[in-house]
Amino acid sequence: MVVAGPGPAHPQPAAARPAYDLLLKGGHVVDPKNGLSAIRDVAILDGKVAAVAPAIDPALALKTVDVNGLYVTPGLIDIHVHVYGSTGEAHSYAGDNGLFPDGFTLRNGVTTVADAGSSGARNFEDFKLHIIDRSKTRVLAFLNIVGAGMRGPKFEDNLADMAPEPAAELARRYPGLIVGIKTAHYSGPEWTPVENAVQAGKLANIPVMVDFGTNKAERPLAELLTKKLRPGDIYTHCYSGLRDELVDGKVNPGMWEGRKRGIIFDVGHGGGSFAWRIAVPAVKEGFLPDSISTDLHIGSMNAGMKDMLNVMSKFLLLGLTPDEVIVRSTWNPAREIHHEELGNLTVGAAADVAVLRIERGQFGFTDHYGAKMSGDRKFICELTVKGGKVVYDLNGLSRPDFKTLPPNYTSVGDSRWDGLNPPSH
């Protein structure tokens, strides 16, 4: 007699995967590329924006975060930073003056930066190995026309180390990663740094960013903007006052002509390149920046600049609306560096998102000279999402209250939406 054993087990139905990994619900979405400034929900799946709609059912999401009363924007893009901090070289922007990016970007809603010429053709690959390839922040680069990079006058005044061909060849080797050519800090009267940078930009089909260095009569600003640069090239430090940006209290006519030609004007605040006495009359005259950037480095972050949100807040103080500030911190810089896949919340785009609050109070904002203007609003970053994962959360918006958790909890996140690593000690 054969005794029948137990029949085959009936498989349990697999739990249906939620339609979305993360849902940001009820925020004021500002997405300039798509002409959107309204209350919307933003849903994320597999690191991409999956839906933007007036109402998305929280039951469809693995994790829902209530962002009512907050601004939801594309991840901020800062196209002028110095983050080659790994060499240990003293007094160098390819060294101790630079910063490791992740400690200064994500907490400010910044998900993408472009290093502005810290490295040149001879040390870019070291920068890539030690910083770009290891950072959560998306790090792109303007390559210095100086082969040795941004390492002080001994290097940056060396005309013999500004050959266009090596810079262009390296840019062609790393398309999309090297987004432009940078010339900076030159103290001589020659046009060679600008001309060679533009030549490299032509060879590699990428823009040039110019920090015009020491003001020289032989190199007037108007000639740079009306003759030397091409449409799409970038003049940074546009409110510095160090290179005749104002003439007799008015915006230099060459800047207006340059704008008509398609030259881009970038803030590049830095430790010495933003003055209220220039910015206030220029903005009053209607000369607004195309992009807002920090010139982040060890000096500027501890002086008047501080961080991206502080610089953005200064433009609220100057009279721009939140939407006008946000477009200059997201979609405009994305276009300037030819990365139109960034800086927007189009369905299918990378889910890089900044959740910002405008805080009311009494605040002081200083320029690079230390002069103060007082204001009653500033931007605060509540939450940053990079590639669909929460990577910064100021007030625990995405976290459960510990009283709701089991007594011996050891994990409260899910790798599908949570990019906050538990402490190692």
Q: Is residue 24 part of a domain?
A: no
For the CA atoms of the chain, what is the radius of gyration?
Answer: 24
Task: Judge whether residue 3 has pLDDT over 70.
Answer: no
Buried b (16+ CB within 10 A) or exposed e, 347-372: eebbbbbbbbbeeeeebebbbbeeee
Task: Judge whether residue 44 has pLDDT over 90.
Answer: yes
User: What residues form DSSP beta bridges with 55?
Assistant: none
Q: Is residue 403 part of a domain?
A: no
Which of 195, 315, 339, 196 lies closest to 266, judged by CA?
315
Q: Is residue 43 part of a domain?
A: no
Helix, strand or coil, per DSSP, at residue 280: helix
The CATH number of residue 262's host domain is 3.20.20.140
Q: Summarize the confidence of residues 96-116 as an average pLDDT.
A: 98
Number of domains in the chain: 1
Band of pLDDT at residue 4, cut at 50, 70 and 90: very low
Task: Judge whether residue 425 has pLDDT over 90.
Answer: no
Whose tokens are 């100021």? That residue is 394
Task: Judge whether residue 154 has pLDDT over 50.
Answer: yes
pLDDT value of residue 187: 98
Backbone angles phi, psi at 154, to 5 degrees: -55, -35
Span 31-42, pLDDT tens digits:
999 999 999 999
Backbone angles phi, psi at 302, to 5 degrees: -105, 5
What does DSSP assign to residue 239? B
**Average pLDDT of the chain to the nearest whole number:** 95
User: What pTM was estimated for this model as a whole?
Assistant: 0.95
Span 383-399, pLDDT tens digits:
999 999 999 999 999 99
How far is the C-alpha of 200 from the C-alpha of 290, rounded, in Å? 23
How far is the C-alpha of 313 from the C-alpha of 358, rounded, in Å? 9
Which of 316, 286, 292, 318 lies closest to 305, judged by CA?
292
Domain encompassing residue 231:
75-344
Q: Is residue 254 part of a domain?
A: yes
Q: Summarize the confidence of residues 222-226 as an average pLDDT.
A: 98
Q: Is residue 238 part of a domain?
A: yes
| Cα 304 from chain centre | 18
Helix (H) or strand (E) holding 73: strand 71-74
pLDDT value of residue 11: 47
User: What residues form DSSP beta bridges with 377?
Assistant: 360
Q: Is residue 81 part of a domain?
A: yes
If one counts every other C-beta atom within 10 angstroms of the C-beta of residue 262, the result is 11
Q: Is residue 257 part of a domain?
A: yes
Span 345-359, pLDDT tens digits:
999 999 999 999 999
Q: Is residue 290 part of a domain?
A: yes
Q: Summarize the confidence of residues 241-260 as an average pLDDT.
A: 98
Residues whose CB is less than 8 angstroms from the CB of residue 13 and which lie 6 or more positions away in sequence, other chains included: none
How far is the C-alpha of 354 from the C-alpha of 349, rounded, in Å? 14
pLDDT value of residue 421: 74
pLDDT value of residue 5: 39
